[in-house]
Structure 1
C-alpha cells in the first residue's frame, strides 16, 4: 500500500504542476520517475513517452497510467492516473471561477502572456529531452559520442518522407515501428 500512496502523491504533484500541457511536463515527469525514485530506466521512460504519444488522451495522464502499471500493476495504474487527473480537475475549476471574475483585467491578460512564454520554453526543453533520450539513450548531452546513428537516420528519413511525400503519419508510425522491430 505504501508504493501505491507514493504513486498517488507523486502523480498528484505532477498533475498539480502540469502547466503548459503534456509536453511541457515531460522533464518534470522524467526527473521524478527516472531520477528521484528510479521507478523506470531511461530507455523504459522513452518507450513510455512514445507509447503515451501514440495512444489517445493527454500525455501526462497516459504516462502516469503506464508508469503506475510498470510499478504496481493495475492498482498502480489506477492510483497514478487518479493522482494526475484529480489535481488538474481541481485547478481547472478554480481557474474557471477566477477567469470568470477577472476576465477583463489587463494584469491577468499580461500574466497569461508570461505563462505562454514559460510554456514555450518548457515545450522546447521537453523536445530536447525526448531527442536526447531517443538518440543518446540519456538526457545528458555529453554522451554525444554514443549517439544511435540508426535512430537518427530513421528520424531524418521520417521527416523527409513527411515533408516531401506527405505520407500519412499513422502509416509512417507503422512503417518505422516495423523497421525498429527489425533493426533492434
Structure 2
C-alpha cells in the first residue's frame, strides 16, 4: 500500500515553474532560511536539499539529484555549490537566463546569511577565549556535526545505491577510508571506471 501511495504521489507531483517571480522568490527564501542551519558545512543540509528539490518542488528525480551531488563534490570549490546546480537545474527548462538567475539566487541565498554569521562570530569569538561558554559550545557542536554528517552519508547511500555491487563498493570504500590513508581521488576514479564499464549501476 505504501508503495502504491508513493508512486501515486510521484505521478501527481508537478515541477514548480520558476519563470514566475513569486516561485523564484519562494525558492530563494527557502535557501535563505536553511543557510543558518549549515553547521559543519553545506553537506549537513543534504537531506533538506533532497527534500526541497525532489519531494517539495519536484525539480529532479533522486537519481538526477545524486548525479548533481557527485558533480558538485568532484568539482573544486565548496560543497554548497550543489545549491547553485540545483537552482540552475530547476529553471533551465524555462531558458538559460532563468537557469542562471535561479542558480545564482539559490547560491547567494545559501552562502550569504551563514557567511555573515560566521564573520560576526569570528570577530567576537576571540574575546570569549577564557569563557566556559565557549568551551562548552565547541565541545557540544563536534558530536552534533558528526552525527549530521553520518546521517548525510546514509542519505547518499539510499539515493545513489540501488543494487548489490553498488552497496558493496560503498562498503569497501568506507572501510578503506577509515583504515588507510589512500587519497579519496583514487576511490572516485575506480568507482567512475566501474560505472563506466557498467559493472555498477545506480
TM class by smaller structure: 0.7 to 0.9
Structure 1 residue 49: deviation in Å?
A: 1.5
Q: Which runs of 5+ in 1 are unaligned?
A: 137-147
Query: Taking structure 2 as the reference length, what is the TM-score of the superposition?
Result: 0.73
Match of 1:11 in 2: 31
Alpha carbons of structure 1 residues 6 and 182: separation in structure 2 relative to 1, 3 Å: farther
Identify the structure with the greater helix proportion.
1
Residue 50 of structure 1 pairs with residue 70 of structure 2: yes
What is the RMSD of the two structures over their aligned residues, measured on CA atoms? Answer: 2.6
Q: Show the 5 A alignment for 1:1-184.
A: 1-59=21-79, 61-72=80-91, 73-136=99-162, 148-156=163-171, 169-183=184-198, 184=201
Q: What is the distance in 2 between the residues matched to 1:103 and 1:164?
A: 35
Alpha carbons of structure 1 residues 163 and 36: separation in structure 2 relative to 1, 3 Å: closer
Query: Taking structure 1 as the reference length, what is the TM-score of the superposition?
Result: 0.79
Q: Answer 1 or 2: higher relative contact order, Cα 8 Å, separation at least 6.
A: 1
Name the count of aligned residue pairs. 172
